[in-house]
Amino acid sequence: MKLHCEVEVVSRLLPALGLRNRGKGSRAVLSLCQQTPTSHPHPACLLISTLKDKRGTRYELKENIEQLFTKFVDEGKATVRLKKPPVDICLSKANSSSLKGFLSAVRLVHRGSDVDAPLSTLTSVKPSEFEKFKTKMVITSKKDYPLSKNFPYSLEHLQTSYCGLVRVDMRMLCLKNLRKLDLSHNHIKKLPATIGDLIHLQELNLNDNHLESFSVALCHSTLQKSLRCLDLSKNKIKALPVQFCQLRELTDIKLDDNELIRLPFKIGQLTNLRFLSAARNKLPFLPSEFKHLSLEYLDLFGNRFEQPEVLPIIMLQVPLTLLEYSARTVLNSRIPYGSHIIPFHLCEDLDTAKTCVCGRFCLSSFIQGTTTMNLHSVAHTVVLVDNMGSTEVPIISYFCSLDCYVNSSVMLK
């Protein structure tokens, strides 16, 4: 019985000697081994082999476990505390289901019971076993794409480009250590929501595919905490969902060469964003929240920015409807809502409510005005908007009341 993971053996005597452990594990193969075939009774032992120590170090297990720490076993981590020698064997980056199986066998050996699984012999581990520890794999042609073999579980960086993929390979979604996934230059039409289960994913490259949307489910996933760089350029996306702005860790977004007719109007919430390019789309204007961004680089070249409307569009209803009143109250008082409390379509309405220049919200009763903004006010480096050398773009603003509109009319002129 074997387990592949990272191991760090920490002596509990170190702190007493004023020393500290390295805090970093090494790739290792753990095996439950038969001590010697002739000894009787023959309790199994634990053998930890690494690339530097292929013969491995042996640890007794029978009645020798002081404690098992398994709180993070679902993240592939656990610690085995031995009595003799006084060490903590810290396991990490393991496949969680293999780890669970291995730990229950370890428990059995500790109690002196028989283990169901076959035990290994005390032999050194072949170097090829350590290949399973690869952290990076780059595939750039169809013929190199693994069909019969699985991807190594330890992968942190996987690139499969020019492989003609029409969907995301489910085997990739089991690679829980992935930080960087590059699926550029394929024919992917749709992203599975389970990409959001890759809890460490920081970079996702989908450049040059056939995507038509980016799903709300992904915006609500753990990507909110991990995703920093997203490349969706050269796809067929017409609009991003408003929930997209909940991916708050994003620093780099590439949206060039799509069919975008608008940017998510809550884009100002992406406070970590530093690099944004959405060149060669169909944007007629920008949302007013765009003013809150603080970028290093911005490229909006080749869009269809329209001349600002001189006259505002007035959608004010006086008096306000009951729906408008309640929606404004819920949003302005930050009362939590969800589809478990109110109908789903109302949630959507609330999610897409407009923000007035005064900071308050409005649903369907508002005045809409267009102004222009110089892109240099939000970014250090700006690629010119058109061949005329302009960096001025129209932005759309909403006003919740006539007062707000009149007070801001100076700005509008």
Q: By CB under 5 A, name the binding residues for Zn ion.
A: 356, 358, 360, 400, 404
CA angle 120/49/147 to nearest 5° reads 75
Contact 289, 266 (CB under 8 A): yes
Nearest approach in angstroms of CB 400 to Zn ion is 4
Q: How far apart are CA 238 and CA 263, in angstroms?
A: 9
Whichever of 119 and 367 has its CB closer to Zn ion, that residue is 367
Whichever of 298 and 367 has its CB closer to Zn ion, that residue is 367
Nearest approach in angstroms of CB 154 to Zn ion is 54
Copy the structure tokens of residue 358: 């005064």
Whichever of 35 and 332 has its CB closer to Zn ion, that residue is 332
Nearest approach in angstroms of CB 360 to Zn ion is 5
DSSP class of 376: G
Q: How far apart are CA 163 and CA 178, in angstroms?
A: 19
Nearest approach in angstroms of CB 359 to Zn ion is 7
Q: How far apart are CA 82 and CA 109, in angstroms?
A: 13
Nearest approach in angstroms of CB 404 to Zn ion is 3
Nearest approach in angstroms of CB 396 to Zn ion is 15
Of 176, 186, 142, 181, nearest to 159 (Cα)?
181
Number of H helices, E strands in the chain: 6, 22
Q: How far apart are CA 253 and CA 229, in angstroms?
A: 6
Whichever of 243 and 365 has its CB closer to Zn ion, that residue is 365
Contacts of 399 by beta carbon, 8 Å cutoff, 6+ apart: 312, 356, 357, 358, 366, 367, 368, 369, 405, 408
Q: How far is CA 232 from the centre of its chain?
A: 14
Q: Any idea how long the chain is?
A: 413
Whichever of 285 and 399 has its CB closer to Zn ion, that residue is 399
Nearest approach in angstroms of CB 356 to Zn ion is 3
Whichever of 284 and 312 has its CB closer to Zn ion, that residue is 312
Whichever of 44 and 353 has its CB closer to Zn ion, that residue is 353
Phi, psi of 159 (to 5 degrees): -125, 125
